[in-house]
């Protein structure tokens, strides 16, 4: 009898172990868990987040907010054998609503609780009891991306649905966003925010980090899965499920936000030792029909919107093509080391357009450039939209265009003139654009190749010179366009591409000359 009881006990224990193993092997947190919440939220009225921030933090200046620093020795996961670390942002200024942050393990999900012990408050006077249950404003990810013995910040999530990522040898520049709603519409833009995150605890051998996020706004919700791959180029695989609460005027998918103050296509109106100031200098598009388009950026006097209609885009991004330090001469902000960001859709995105929004700014601290994909058709509220894409943050722009075609290396704007018989250049009321093209295939062409330009201009302008010459310095070709503008109060669209007979040699240079008044 005793033997029989022992056998039964062993079976129960064995069954329990098997059940435990089975449970741990099949349990897994996924984007579907977040999507259930997003869909449920979309079916209910929007509840605006409430701030619990004491006035000493809400009313502080930026210099005071900068004093609140995370204690690096308290980094999350610092006691685990993993190369990843988490640090958190304190609430302050306009970062005044808490974001819930959870850790996902192999068997459970639990909230990472706020504690003032995580932070050094500097000279900021505050009541410790008033901040004990505040919550975080966001988080950052650290990883030894440049050397094995140094933890570098590679991902920052702070404010609305913005996040910034960098790879090896890069410094923060442009931002990505989860979603954009009604950007540049008269009704005003709506800024969805990530209200909650779930971060998977990485294993010791992991070279990736998985983050889930719940997005919420008055007219949309969303579930996101981000898989971060740090490296020379840092890559983020994005999976998103979006639900509308109500109709929107414009939905921006995979939005990128950057800054352009001035550059050679639009020189600084005031004397500055820095020749260029921008996080990005152009929008690059790989259209569904295979065409590559390069659109230099502007800092216009009035809000400007450019659209590129297509079906199933292959990619688009805001790029920093100029990498020479001499183009910026800025030892502090290092614009030469700020990354380009490239969006590569996964699957078919259907019909729509890539949209570029340029906003006037007088200061380099203001992000005034936005680019995103807008689908032509949106489903009824509550219906799911799936958009998956790969985000690459890189300084290697040579791989972000067709290697068989030449690309634009610079666009320079000048006063148009004509050389007189006495060799003096006489302005003739035109505007000149000097566009340099380069590429490995182009370098193989003999310098006497009859390269020409197929150029066009909108109704507001006239091309008075369209000439191409060999550039012996770069082994490429230089296009000169002189144009006469009819009404300087209106924008003027231009396009050009280099050809050799019937053969297209370059990407399409597409430019919008801003209104001058």
Question: Which CATH number do you get for residue 494?
Answer: 2.60.40.10
Structure confidence at residue 133 (pLDDT):
85
For range 371-375, the mean pLDDT: 98
Cross-strand bridge partners of residue 212: 198, 225
Residue range 183-205, pLDDT digits in tens = 999 999 999 999 999 999 999 99
Percent of the chain with pLDDT over 70: 95
Q: Is 38 helix (H, G, I), strand (E, B) or coil?
A: helix
Domain end among 340, 368, 399: 399
The pair of structure tokens assigned to 141 is 């990810």
Percent of the chain with pLDDT over 90: 87
Instruction: Please tell me the total number of residues recorded for the chain in this structure.
Output: 517
- Judge if 113 and 148 occupy the same domain: yes
- Band (pLDDT 50/70/90 cuts) for residue 418 is confident
For range 416-440, the mean pLDDT: 91
| Strands 492-500, 476-485: pairing kind | unpaired
- Judge if 359 and 460 occupy the same domain: no
- Judge if 248 and 357 occupy the same domain: yes
Domain hosting residue 341, numbered range: 31-399
For range 489-515, the mean pLDDT: 96
For range 467-487, the mean pLDDT: 97
- Judge if 478 and 357 occupy the same domain: no
- Judge if 374 and 307 occupy the same domain: yes
Structure confidence at residue 125 (pLDDT):
85
Residue 273 lies in a domain: yes
- Judge if 389 and 429 occupy the same domain: no
Model-level pTM?
Answer: 0.92
Residue 168 lies in a domain: yes
Query: Which of residues 479 and 423 earns the better pLDDT score?
Result: 479
Q: For tokens 């075609």, name the residue.
A: 405
- Judge if 165 and 210 occupy the same domain: yes
Q: How does DSSP assign 371-414, residue by residue?
A: EEEEES--PPTT-EEEEEEEEEEES-GGGSS-TTSBEEEEEEEE
- Judge if 153 and 113 occupy the same domain: yes
Whether pLDDT at 165 is above 80: yes
Query: Which of residues 129 and 292 earns the better pLDDT score?
Result: 292
- Judge if 411 and 395 occupy the same domain: no
CATH number at residue 369: 2.70.98.10
- Judge if 147 and 255 occupy the same domain: yes
Residue range 4-51, pLDDT digits in tens = 444 444 444 444 444 444 444 457 899 999 999 999 999 999 999 988
For range 208-221, the mean pLDDT: 98
Q: What is the mean pLDDT of the chain?
A: 93
Domain end among 399, 430, 449: 399
Residue 198 lies in a domain: yes
Residue range 78-90, pLDDT digits in tens = 999 999 999 999 9
For range 241-267, the mean pLDDT: 97
* Contact assessment for residue 159 and residue 170, using Cβ atoms and an 8 Å cutoff: no
- Judge if 439 and 383 occupy the same domain: no
Structure confidence at residue 408 (pLDDT):
97
Residue range 119-147, pLDDT digits in tens = 999 999 888 777 888 999 999 999 999 99
For range 168-180, the mean pLDDT: 98
Whether pLDDT at 233 is above 50: yes
The pair of structure tokens assigned to 310 is 């297509």
Whether pLDDT at 156 is above 60: yes
Pick from 169, 244, 511: nearest CA to 358: 511
> What is the H or E stretch that residue 294 is in?
strand 292-296
Structure confidence at residue 497 (pLDDT):
98
- Band (pLDDT 50/70/90 cuts) for residue 517 is low
Whether pLDDT at 1 is above 60: no
- Judge if 193 and 256 occupy the same domain: yes
Domain end among 356, 371, 399: 399
The total of structural domains in the chain comes to 2
Q: For 86-120, give the secondary structure using H, E and C.
A: EEEECCECCECCCEEEEEECCCCEEECCCCHHHEE
Q: Give the torsion through C-alpha atoms of 500, 501, 502, 504, to 10 deg.
A: 20
Residue 18 lies in a domain: no
- Band (pLDDT 50/70/90 cuts) for residue 423 is confident
């Amino acid at each position: 009898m005793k033997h029989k009881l022992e056998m039964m006990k062993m079976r129960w224990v064995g069954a329990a172990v098997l059940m435990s193993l089975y449970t741990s092997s099949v349990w897994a947190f996924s984007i579907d868990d977040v999507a259930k919440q997003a869909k449920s939220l979309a079916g209910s009225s929007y509840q605006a987040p409430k701030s619990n921030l004491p006035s000493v933090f809400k009313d502080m200046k930026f210099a005071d907010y900068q004093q609140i620093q995370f204690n690096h020795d308290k980094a999350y996961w610092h006691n685990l054998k993993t190369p990843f670390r988490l640090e958190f942002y304190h609430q302050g200024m306009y970062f005044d609503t808490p974001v819930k942050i959870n850790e996902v393990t192999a068997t459970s999900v639990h909230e990472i609780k706020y504690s003032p012990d995580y932070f050094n408050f500097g000279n900021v006077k505050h009541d410790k009891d008033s901040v004990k249950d505040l919550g975080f404003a966001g988080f950052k990810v650290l990883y030894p991306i440049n050397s094995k013995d140094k933890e570098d910040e590679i991902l920052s999530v702070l404010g609305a649905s913005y996040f910034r990522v960098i790879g090896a040898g890069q410094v923060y520049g442009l931002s990505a966003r989860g979603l954009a709603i009604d950007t540049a519409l008269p009704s005003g833009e709506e800024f969805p925010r990530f209200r909650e995150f779930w971060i998977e605890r990485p294993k010791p051998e992991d070279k990736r980090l998985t983050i889930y996020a719940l997005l919420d706004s008055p007219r949309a919700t969303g579930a996101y899965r981000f898989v971060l791959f740090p490296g020379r180029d840092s890559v983020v695989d994005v999976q998103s499920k979006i639900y509308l609460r109500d109709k929107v005027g414009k939905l921006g998918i995979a939005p990128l936000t950057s800054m352009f103050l001035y550059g050679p296509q639009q020189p600084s109106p005031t004397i500055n030792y820095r020749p260029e100031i921008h996080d990005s200098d152009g929008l690059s598009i790989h259209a569904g029909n295979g065409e590559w388009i390069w659109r230099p950026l502007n800092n216009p006097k009035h809000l400007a919107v450019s659209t590129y209609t297509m079906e199933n885009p292959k990619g688009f991004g805001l790029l920093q093509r100029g990498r020479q330090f001499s183009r910026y001469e800025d030892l502090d902000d290092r614009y030469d080391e700020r990354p380009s960001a490239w969006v590569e859709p996964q699957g078919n995105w259907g019909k729509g357009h890539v949209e570029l929004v340029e906003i006037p700014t007088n200061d380099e601290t203001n992000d005034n450039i936005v680019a995103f994909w807008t689908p032509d058709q949106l489903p009824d509220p509550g219906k799911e939209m799936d958009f998956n894409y790969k985000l690459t943050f890189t300084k290697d722009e040579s791989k972000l265009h067709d290697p068989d075609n030449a690309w634009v290396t610079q666009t320079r704007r000048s006063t148009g003139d004509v050389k007189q018989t006495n060799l003096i250049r006489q302005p003739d009321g035109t505007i000149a654009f000097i566009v340099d093209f380069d590429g490995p295939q182009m370098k193989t062409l003999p310098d006497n190749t009859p390269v020409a330009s197929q150029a066009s201009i909108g109704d507001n302008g006239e091309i008075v010179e369209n000439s191409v010459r060999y550039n012996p310095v770069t082994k490429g070709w230089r296009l000169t366009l002189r144009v006469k503008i009819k009404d300087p109060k209106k924008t003027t669209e231009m396009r050009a591409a280099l050809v050799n007979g019937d053969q297209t040699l370059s990407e399409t240079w597409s430019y919008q000359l801003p209104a001058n008044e």
